[in-house]
Chain A
Amino acid sequence: MDFTFDTEQHALREAVAGLLQRAYDPEKRRAVTAKDPGFDEGTWARLAEMGVLGLPFAEEDGGMGAGQAEVALVATEIGKVLAPEPFVESVVLAGGLVAAVGTAEQRAELLGPLAEGASLVVFAHAEPDSRWTASASGVTAAQAGDGWTLTGVKEPVPSGARADVLVVSAAVDGGTALFVVRAEAAGLTRSGYRTHDGTRAARVTFDGTPAELLGDGTADRTADVELALARATVAYAHEAVGAMQTALTTTSEYLKTRKQFGVPLSKFQALTFRAADMYVSLELVRSIALWATMVLDAPGSSPEAVLAAADRARLQTSKAGRHIGKEAIQLHGGIGVTAEYSVGHYTSRLTAIDHLLGDGAWATGRLADRIDAGTVEALPA
């Protein structure tokens, strides 16, 4: 087993870290997230120039042919500075679905422009009356001549108002199929809004909206959606680890500099012990996130192994994110609750990540269903 990154991966990390740290400090982030689309188009374009937006896609599809490890590095750096660019939402999740399900023609048509930063693709999947399911029910697809139309509501759709292309899950024949809808399609209404973590989401309404079937045939795509969500979950785990790391270092610095009763807060064991516990949480979740990434990248990993690894990552991320996020605010005191200071935004983003694709209790339920009476889940040999 090897948890370390190679030289090329380190170079990628350095480059992405440099770009994002120049782009964002808490002030700049506040300014960027105050106005639509909730991220910086210039930074998005620079990420594209660097090849980051095409990292996980095959070279023949216009990507870089990199693995989940590279995705993890980028996500971690995004989390560290809370960059609001929708890397996981667009590249990992929506792009990942297109890469897994799309025809060769669709992959070239959609992933190339996504990688170049020319087209923002997002996955419109969540529905207002359900949570964390891999199938669709509120949006239905109907055949119309040679094509398809969609009807129903998707919400919340991350960056749904800004997106150029929507990958949409819809119920068809008792299963779930995936469709591509362009921003300019008829019968498409999008109401965008700001979310608590500074990003954007939208209600997307389809009313007989023309749509292109993603991939060949209308076979049920629920399993593909499950796997794409699992991969995005692991990427989010790394984004969360990055955010938790900064939340902890910010908190530690504050404890050293803030004085009360004539001494730095770091003189109070009641506070330093809690910071130590935050460190324990951080290192444990970092280990699981790295391991889950290795499971995703390992050639022989079964879909079941990938889903289980993602659920473990999701559970640990949820626990650690809640622990570190809440303690970071508490150890700061009142300033931690203000929008003017950085640390609370980390808690806000961690809370968003926790609820985008399934929280810890939800993951626990899935893991509980799969308990094997005979063994403790062994590490792969």
Chain B
Amino acid sequence: MQLHLSPEDQAFRDEMRTFFTTKVPQSIRDDVAAHRDVTKEQYVEVQQILNEAGLAVPHWPAEWGGRDWTPLQRHIWREEMQLAAVPEPLAFNASMIGPVIAAFGSQEQKERFLPKTANLDIWWCQGFSEPDAGSDLASLRTAAVRDGEDWVVNGQKTWTTLGQYADWIFCLCRTDPGAEKKQRGISLLVFPMDTPGVTLRPIELLDGGFEVNEVFFEDVRVPAENLIGEENRGWDYAKFLLGNERVGIARVGATKRMLVDAKAHATRITSGGRPLIEDPSMRARIAELETELLALELTALRVVSNSTDGKPNPASSVLKLRGSELQQSATELIVDIAGPLSLASFAEDDDTDVPEWARVATPEFLNYRKVSIYGGSNEVQRTIIAGTILGL
């Protein structure tokens, strides 16, 4: 048992902290810290800065830009990025399709896609969920039918995050409708979003923003060489990919930053003639949240130090479950601190005296309802814990 980081890991943390706070433009970090939307150009700029320094895809195989870091170092890397309000490398590239191609793609596909994926020269989006396939992803119906040298894709995807910026999509398609198990008849295809027959409809969310989309496919012709891995093995790749998706999903660093902000806001808001931060019930609420967050962070460190070579640890379900709940609790706390100011949510700068943090508080709270739904809903995580860990 050892409380402190080793000197090597401390040095690593300092190195990460220095890089993120000095090499990533302050204006972009300010936008992230203020909960403003990050533009496509900002995402690309930051990922290219990180990639240049070998910090965009450290968990990939070394051959393709990865670093031989320990799980703890990867954890520190991610935490420090969140604490410094750096937009993280695009998950669809860095955590999802990149590792899948690196593990299951052909040599030609690796050479064609991986450098551009790491550098965000290609922006990927995820074609997984469908209107009738949410948590029950394996019941997806988008079909790919072989026609000569092409696959012909028809169907619809939804919840395609940032699809409006995407150059390419990785798409789960049903290629064997007659398979005995529905999981066995699925393949993973990739194709450009400007392929004829692909249309995209943005979906407005409760916060007034557009981050998810519906994507429709009508006789989309995809060359056979764009199949990743083996035909009808797509479900295995999807599970591999979703396992990666849960890594780092606790987002402790981001929630820490929100709690620090919340305390600063509560110092400036007056309630009953004194700063809200002096109110005993507010202090108790913050103290509890800080303790919950500490417990989560320590659990993340336990999972990290016990994880064996990238295999998803079932305890990572705890991180997803609790991590999402605490992110939501933090956004809720900030809305409550803002109180009536939170109603000025859609006011423009010139029309309001309400500070920006209070204006974005409720849209953020509403938007963050998503975190207990995506990445395997919290109910799916409970199913995993009950089944895999408790044997129920």
Q: Which residues of A come within 8 Å of B, CB atoms?
A: 1-5, 9, 69, 248, 252, 255-256, 266, 269, 272-273, 275-277, 279-280, 283-285, 287-288, 290-291, 293-295, 297-298, 301, 312, 315-316, 364-365, 367-369, 371, 373-377, 379-381
Q: How many residues of B contact A (CB 8 A)?
A: 49
B321, A1: Cβ atoms closer than 8 Å: no
Q: Which of B3-11, B94-102, B206-214, B240-248 contacts A (4 or more CB under 8 A)?
A: B3-11
B116 at the interface (CB under 8 A from A): no
Q: Is B2 an interface residue (CB 8 A)?
A: yes
Question: Which one, B259, B280, B296, contacts A368 given CB within 8 A?
Answer: B280
Residue of A nearest to B279 (CB): A368
Q: What chain A residues lie within 8 Å of B295 (beta carbons)? A: 284-285, 287-288, 312, 316
CB pair A283–B299 under 8 Å, yes or no, is yes
B298 on the A face (CB < 8 A): yes
Cα separation A221 to B7 with both chains bound (whole Å): 37
Q: Chain A nearest CB: distance from B356 CB in Å? A: 20
Chain A proximity mask over B361-392: 1 for CB below 8 Å, otherwise 0:
00000000000000000010111011101111
Q: In the complex, which residues of chain A have a beta carbon less than 8 angstroms from the beta carbon of B260?
A: 374-376
- With a CB–CB cut-off of 8 A, which chain A residues contact B386? 272-273, 275-276
Kindly state whether residue B22 has any CB partner on chain A within 8 Å.
no
Give the nearest-CB partner of B390 in chain A. A252
By a CB distance below 8 angstroms, the chain A residues around B301 are 1, 3, 287
- A-B CB contact pairs (8 Å), 26 listed: A1-B301, A2-B2, A269-B383, A272-B382, A273-B379, A276-B381, A276-B385, A276-B386, A279-B385, A283-B302, A284-B292, A284-B295, A284-B296, A287-B295, A287-B299, A291-B3, A294-B1, A301-B3, A312-B295, A315-B287, A316-B292, A364-B284, A368-B284, A376-B290, A380-B3, A381-B10
Contact A298–B3 (Cβ < 8 Å): yes
A376 touching B293, Cβ below 8 Å: yes
Tell whether, in the assembled complex, residue B390 and residue A287 are in contact, meaning their CB atoms are under 8 Å apart.
no
- What residue of chain A has the Cβ atom nearest to residue B282's Cβ? A368
Give the residue name and chain of the A residue nearest to B302 (CB). Answer: A3
| With known contacts A272-B386, A298-B4, A315-B288, A376–B259 Cβ distance under 8 A | yes
Inter-subunit contact B1/A371 (CB<8 Å): no
Within 8 A of A (CB), among B1-38: 1-5, 10, 13
Q: Which residue on chain A has the smallest CB distance to residue B9?
A: A1
| Distance of A290 Cα from B277 Cα, bound (Å) | 31
Contact B297 A379, beta carbon cutoff 8 Å: yes
Query: How far is it, in angstroms, between the C-alpha of A279 and the C-alpha of B382 when the chains are bound?
Result: 10
> What CA separation (Å) do A321 and B353 show in the bound complex?
46
Which chain A residues border B318 with CB–CB below 8 Å?
Answer: 279-280, 283-284
Provide the residues of chain A in CB contact with B391, threshold 8 Å: 252, 256
Which one of A266, A283, A312, A373 contacts B263 once the chains associate, using CB atoms below 8 Å? A373
Least distance between A266 CB and chain B CB atoms (Å): 4
Contact of A290 among B298, B315, B382 (CB under 8 A): B298
A residues in contact with B39, CB < 8 Å: none
A376 and B256 contact, CB distance less than 8 A: yes
The verdict on A365 contacting B390 (CB below 8 Å), with A276-B382, A279-B385, A298-B4 known, is no
Known: A291-B298, A368-B283. A2 touches B1 (CB 8 A): yes
Question: Which of B5, B296, B322, B392 makes the CB contact (< 8 A) with A252?
Answer: B392
Residue with the highest number of chain A CB atoms closer than 10 Å, among B315, B318, B322:
B318
